[in-house]
Each structure stands twice: as structure tokens, then as C-alpha cells.
Amino acid sequence: MSLSTKIFNSISNNRTGRALATLFGKNAPESLNILFDSSNGKIGSAAGAGLSPAIWGDCPRGLMLVDPTLGHFVGDDFTKANTKTFTTAYDYELAGTNGTFTQGASDPNGVAVITATGSDNDEANVNMNSGTGIIKLDASTDWWFETRVKINQITTAQGVFVGLITDDITMGTDFHTDNTMAMKVQDALGFQIIAATNIAAVWQSQMTLTGGARAAINATLETASTGWIKLGMKCVSGVVTFFVNGVLDAESTTSATTNYPLDQYVVPAFATKCGSATANTLSVDWWYATQLR
């Protein structure tokens, strides 16, 4: 039995339950599976530009649209910038030396471009400015996150972060502290490129705990390229797994592991830092995040 079916069957005969029954009739559970469960409805693909079935197939995000007490499903496809610079008014906070955050030109699907303009130690970082976190990294509540990003170069010294950070502070001027490309020791979970010298860029999965340390989960997760890549995470019963282009990585972590940022409220965050006089861009096509209540 799919998660959508289980949740539908658990809905009492209240207004939501009656509305779903009226809308879908006796075949409501099966209809919901087709609409919202990728394993049944074949929604998306690992290789496609959209959400990855291996991450989202057990997420009842469609049911949340009709019963928000189940959880929340939020995201951004970056289609509403009206060619203006993204600012706090667009629910994001930009920091870093000489960084910019703008809409990608000539892309009707919407792309946000984060640029570190090209002097050594220039940085641009952006985090969602929601006022409070949209995911709580606790030990019992399931959550999902995925984003599609692209970097412009893979051979020159740089630092990149894509993932979730604590909502109580912004990433600040130097989220990557210096030319070592080390990150600030603040609560974070996600994906990182650490290239202190001119080496081939490699994505790592990692977690960081304020008052603790950074810990690599898989230091050789994926060789970076300049093409689009989907990076995702999900947590089911306290076990956090990582995905690249919709494919599950063998390395995982748990909410009980040392340096896991347990019980922190987090928001999506993106950062790029220059290690030389070469401009870096980090393009974000979309991100989506969900958590059960």
C-alpha cells in the first residue's frame, strides 16, 4: 500500500475526507496514486529536468494541496523575477563580497543565477529568508528536498555549497571562510565542492553542526561537470539518504550521528566562492522541499 493510500485511508469523515470522496468517488485511493505517486503514475524520471521519482515517490505532496494538515510542500521555480535582481523582497537574502543574484536571461522556465564576480575571495551566497525554517531536522518527521543546479567551471579553485542551513543566521559575508574553501561551522546539511587549488571539482555530501564540526558523508560523491545536476536528500524515520540525478548514493547518515544538526530548523541555501580571478556562477533552476507535520 502506497503512502498516499495510507494517508487517504486515515483521513476521517470530515470536510476534507468528504471532498476527496466526492471528487474521486470510490476509486479515490487509486486516483490519488496515479496523480501523486511516481511509482504508479510514472511522474518524472531520474534523467529528466523535474523531480526525481526515487526521492518523491513516497511523498504525499499532492494530498497536502487538499489537506495542509498533512504537511507542507514549498519551492521556487524562479519564473517571477520580472528581470529584476532577487532581493529580500523576493524572499531571499544575498550576502558575500561583490556577489549578485539575478534572473537568467532568455530562459522561459526560470533560472536564478548567483555570481561571484571574479576577484580572489569574492563570494555570493543566498539563503531563503522565510523568517523561520521550512524543515526541522528532527529524528521522527519525514522530509524531502531536491534542487537542480549548474556551475560554470570545474577546473579553477572554488567553493560551492547547495543544501540546507539553519534559519537563525544568514550565511554572511564569508560563508566559505577563506581560500581553503572551508565553510563556517554552522548547522548545515547538503552538498559541497571544496577546491582550494586548481583541481577537478568533486561534489561531496556533508553535514555540519554548530559547536561541533563538519563531517563528510561521501567525499567523492560525484565528479562535477558544467551541465545541470539534480541534488537531493530525504529523511525517512531518521535515516537521511542522498541522491544525484535521481540515483540513490550508497552513503547515508542518521539523525543520531555525531555532528548531525539535530532539531535545527533549516532553509534552502546556495553559495559560490572564487579561489582566483575567475568568475564563478551557480545557476539554480528550481528547488522543492516538503515535510510531514
* All domains of the chain in start order, with CATH: 3-70 (no CATH), 77-292 (2.60.120.200)
Whole-number pLDDT of residue 38: 46
Q: Where are the beta strands (DSSP E) in 33-95?
A: 71-76, 92-95
pTM: 0.86
Here the cell at position 185 is 561551522
> Could you tell me which residues come within 8 angstroms of residue 10 by beta carbon, excluding any fewer than 6 positions away?
none
Contact (Cβ atoms closer than 8 angstroms) between residue 12 and residue 20: no
Whole-number pLDDT of residue 185: 83
* Digit-coded pLDDT (tens) for 234-275: 999 999 999 999 999 999 999 999 999 999 999 999 999 988
Whole-number pLDDT of residue 84: 58
* Digit-coded pLDDT (tens) for 173-232: 777 777 788 887 889 999 999 999 999 999 999 999 999 999 999 999 999 999 999 999
- Residue 204, classed as helix, strand or coil, is strand
Distances, alpha carbon 45 to alpha carbons 48, 53, 63, 149, 267, in Å: 5, 6, 21, 17, 25
Task: For 226-244, give one letter per residue: b (16+ CB within 10 A) or e.
Answer: eeebbbbbbbeebebbbbb
